[in-house]
Structure 1
């Protein structure tokens, strides 16, 4: 049973890492593209808020992973 839980936590950790990396890549691309296309600053703010939301989601999941590992270790 513990091995299955470890696999689940590892899969969740990989998902979180992909969300963090993907968020940063998309955010950087959106900032560059918005500036290159001459978009108003409110669109940049929209991308900023979307990136913050994704990073908050990742932080919550990291905390959940940490708590799950603490409970399985004793």
Structure 2
């Protein structure tokens, strides 16, 4: 008979999976926006908005990863 996984551990695993998905999607979208901006000669200030959005996603991922890490410590 197997033990059931701890619900808190399952929640942390879901959070970690979400962080991974957000990071992967952010990187792909950011690289795509950089390429598209170069191809369509967008103004740098417009492309910079994609940089800010990517940085916001990375900061969010860092905060959630820290929360996951802190949750495992307790």
Query: Normalising by structure 1, what TM-score?
Result: 0.92
The CA deviation string for residues 6-34 of structure 1, in whole angstroms up to 9 with x for no partner, is: 10000000000000111000000000001
| TM-score, structure 2 as length reference | 0.92
Secondary structure in 1 matching 2:42: coil
Report the number of matched residues.
71
Give the structure with the larger helix fraction: 1
Q: What's 2:9 paired with?
A: 6
RMSD (Å), alpha carbons: 1.3
- Name stretches of at least 5 consecutive residues in structure 2 with no aligned partner: none
Moved over 6 A (4+): none
Q: CA deviation at 1:2?
A: 6.5
